Structure 1
């Protein structure tokens, strides 16, 4: 797209301009579609009132949000408001709009909107029963990895074989130097970004953690990974992805959309997912991250180690846990990680 064409898109269709930019920033197709659906709905609402997106004030935004109540859940209202806020904030930063009307709205918005909704409360025994019903080796390995590590779907998709160190496995291969002296571990780098070349392959997902993290592998996760490696197809990529499609895209690196689809399929079978259900109801890959955080934090009483494993902490805290990694992180993890098999 030429500069002239981009400027025309920016002024004539601000939504398309914004969607293109968040795609460049590495947002998944699923996220892009969600933004487009919300922004086009709001754009249609303004059009009925004879207004352009650039002309909306805080009262227009508040009136639309008020209209949503009763038709969608409160957590969905909060999500829609955050999408609108980011859209206007970005368009203001790039100079297309003069101001962000949502900045004031978020200050005024009803406190009953829960931006961090209470999610479905699933016990460890119930999750164990759920895992027992997953027979496909790939699906089982993906779900148990997410549940045992708390990593994001995109981070799981970016794992290569070199990021896995298995001590007693017939499928052991050379691992990256960062795993030297750390047997039975997964290395989750912070570097991969969507659209960038990493380990000789252009990635379709970004890792969002603040720092690279080494996560212990317990006996259960090791066993399902060995089962997966026994049937894993030959990869199409020289990067040797750990998780590969066994369906239409045979041998291709899994994408976040593929991971969402397989988790949704099994969650539907369990009655844990329905169309139109919000974050407080539907079980998704992100729910598994929530499950990991909640249960491991409650068991350890150590927020620091959980934050380290999630990749959410700054360098000084990382240093605390990596200095004596084997004794501190692994011992606490293995003593407290829940059983799923």
Structure 2
């Protein structure tokens, strides 16, 4: 891979990227973490790879060089750390490609393979759709039901759920006191939910400092079916007045009345219901416990089976970038909605 002939000449792509990360508002700690990992990758390449033992530069690296580096990390790091380091490199290449300093992102295929191995976990508890329906129907509290149904219907990560503001949802509000003031991205798109890649822990989004990060690669517009619309309207009808001017969609009805729901609160709500069902025990692992992340696994497994379209499922999960979407169809939004509505399971 060579640099684009139309791009500005950049002698040190890593320094360029880290500086831009700072311009975008990332903390010095985040900048340092990016630079540390990227310098490790640069040093790995310079020492030579299986493909080229004389050494490889960052612009020249291929997906095989990246795969070799990721594999080398596994000897000394936990799987979660390996995935984090891989995501740093993926973001670096993705950004540098977007601004025209580098020609392509060799990490796209590598990250896809890493996620595939993580998502396909045969050790997880198997719960049938009928069992999940009984579980959901047994939840009567409007907040608890809205949390569980939203997670199951969208495949959101729990942090992404907690970061939702009312402006991120466009649904019919007949019977509610006020109309919803939605994002421009949702204008004219009724029954949709917007998930932004922007919120980051410790940084401000929509005027509020966030306690969780969204881990999406791109913005995602997720369809809202009639069941999800119904539980959200039910929740909004009794939702306490939010403390934050950001108008969070989900707020506490407990000791932190009116404050944005945190990931710990959401986790507790889910696991208490799961424990009552016999699906959770303290000290149990992912193989047996049902947590908010289990619902993402359930969503992914069922939609992959029903749609047979991994691209659309990856889009809904937030795992696919804009350039990949462009290879599918110019009418992407309609295709996603049609496929989703034909395939999404009923819970109530």
TM class by smaller structure: 0.5 to 0.7
Match of 2:279 among 269, 272, 279: 272
Q: Choose between structure 1 and 2 for higher RCO, CA contacts under 8 A separated by at least 6 residues.
A: 1
**Alignment length (residue pairs):** 244
CA contact (8 A) 2:152 2:296 kept: yes
- 1:140 matched to 2:152: no
Aligned match of 1:169: 174
Aligned to 1:291: 298
Q: Which of 223, 244, 257 matches 2:251?
A: 244
Q: TM-score by structure 1 length? A: 0.67
Q: Secondary structure at the match of 2:335?
A: helix
Q: 1:222 to 1:321 in 2, by over 3 A?
A: farther
> Partner residue of 2:96?
none
- Are residues 197 and 182 of structure 1, via their aligned partners in 2, closer, same or farther at CA, if it must alter by over 3 Å? same
Residue in 1 that maps onto 2:161? 156
Secondary structure of 2:289's match?
coil
**1:277 CA displacement:** 1.1
Give the conservation status (yes or no) of the 8 Å contact 1:117–1:279: no
Asked whether the equivalents of residues 160 and 213 of structure 2 are also in contact (C-alpha less than 8 Å), the reply is: yes
Shift of 1:146: 0.1
Q: CA deviation at 1:83?
A: 6.7
In structure 2, the CA distance between the partners of 1:175 and 1:320, relative to structure 1 (3 Å rule), is farther
The secondary structure found in structure 1 opposite 2:193 is strand
Aligned residue for 1:215, secondary structure, equals strand
Which string of whole-angstrom CA distances, capped at 9 and with x for unpartnered residues, describes residues 236-264 of structure 1?
00000000000000000001000110000
- How far the C-alpha of 1:317 sits from its partner, in A, is 2.2
1:90-146 Cα shifts (integer Å, max 9, x gaps): xxxxxxxxxxxxxxxxxxxxxxxx994521111111000000111100000000000
Unaligned runs of 5+ in 1: 1-23, 26-77, 90-113
Say yes or no: does 1:192 pair with 2:188.
no
Counterpart of 1:82 (choices 69, 78, 84) is 78
Asked if 1 retains the 8 angstrom alpha-carbon contact of 2:271 and 2:290, the reply is yes
Q: Which residue of 2 aligns with 1:306?
A: 313
Query: What is the Cα deviation at residue 184 of structure 1?
Result: 0.4
Q: How does 1:211-230 map to 2 (within 5 A)?
A: 211-230=218-237
Counterparts of 1:179 and 1:238, CA distance in 2: 20
Q: Is the 8 A contact 2:173 2:233 kept in 1?
A: no
Which sections of structure 2, spanning at least 5 residues, go unmatched?
Answer: 1-28, 31-73, 86-118
Q: What is the CA–CA distance in structure 2 between the aligned matches of 1:307 and 1:220, rounded to whole Å? A: 22
TM-fit CA distance, 1:278: 1.0
Show the counterpart of 2:339. Answer: 332
Aligned-partner Cα distance in 2 for 1:321–1:169: 36
The worse-fitting range, judged by mean Cα deviation, of 117-126 and 322-331 is: 322-331
Report what 2:324 is aligned to: 317
Candidates 165, 181, 198, aligned match of 2:188: 181
Q: Is the 8 A contact 1:185 1:216 kept in 2?
A: yes
Distance 2:157 2:166 in 1: 17
Q: Look up the SS of the partner of 1:233 in the other structure.
A: coil
Tell me how far 1:183 sits from its aligned partner: 0.8
CA distances 1:244-298 after superposition (whole Å, capped 9, x unpaired) = 0000000000010001100000000000001121111000000000000000110
Write the distance in 1 (CA, Å) between the matches of 2:241 and 2:160.
21
CA–CA distance in structure 2, aligned partners of residues 322 and 233 of structure 1: 42
SS in 1 for 2:78: helix
Report the counterpart of residue 56 of structure 2 in structure 1.
none
In 1, Cα distance between the equivalents of 2:318 and 2:120? 22
Q: TM-score by structure 2 length?
A: 0.65
Q: Distance in 2 between matches of 1:277 and 1:322?
A: 43
